[in-house]
Amino acid sequence: MAGSNDVKLLGSRRSPFVSRVKFALHLKSVDHEFIMENTQAKSELLLKSNPIHKKIPVLIHNDKPICESLVIVQYVDEAFPDGPTILPSDPYDRSTARFWAAYIDDNWFPVFRSLADVRDEESKAAVLEKITEGLVLLEDFFRKSSNGKGFFGGDRLGYIDIVLGCYLSGIKATEIHFDMKILDETKTPALAQWAHKFISHDAVKGTLPEPEELLPLLKMITAAKAAASESEASK
């Protein structure tokens, strides 16, 4: 493993944002200590390290905390120059990668997450259509940026792969829970192939939680939202 001085990662196995950081650390072969956090009873170390948002992930490198998953991934790329680069070296390609990362987190993911709020088949179908629209955009960008290779940046796993790939277990769990197809081979075949290649990468294997691990949490969230919706409607 690459020399890391002192690297700690505060997180939870079920968090997709923590998975992002793990992918980056594995890709760079950075030795680190993973410290499990209970998000319901946050540790003093977490509260001290991220006093603004008080959430995971937090990377602590030589006693200096770095917060927010996208910021951490970029930090890992710059702080540990040995090994494959994560972000493109070309300024234009770099800015393009950051644009699509922001699109995934700020536009696509909130729509995907809103599936937990649906209460009928019509609403579910409408949200699924919006999710698919976003994936079709990503499919088109993947075809252009990959140049026929396996990842968004070509031959090697990189920034956008990490940003989108962290959601794959959640996508599969959602497909099971709602009995639907989100990453559809007929609508986004290139992304479906990319997903298989991504989860088999050495930096990813064993890091993503199994979809079955996420199902209890997903069921709890949807049940709680349904109860809240019914309570509001009865007022």
What are the chain's domains? Answer: 7-79 (3.40.30.10), 91-213 (1.20.1050.10)
Distance between CA atoms of 179 and 192, rounded to whole angstroms? Answer: 18
Cβ pair 22, 208 in contact under 8 A: no
pLDDT higher than threshold 90 for residue 226: no
What does the alpha-carbon distance between residue 162 and residue 158 come to, in Å, rounded to a whole number? 6
pLDDT in tens, 93-137: 999 999 999 999 999 999 999 998 988 899 999 999 999 999 999
Kindly tell me if the per-residue pLDDT of 12 is higher than 80.
Answer: yes
pLDDT surpasses 60 at 46: yes
Q: Which amino acid is at 217?
A: L
Judged against a pLDDT cut of 70, whether residue 229 lies above it is answered with no
- Percentage of the chain beyond pLDDT 70 is 95
pTM for the full model? 0.93
CA quadruple 166, 169, 182, 98: dihedral, nearest 10: 0
Between the two ends of the chain, the Cα-to-Cα distance in Å is: 59
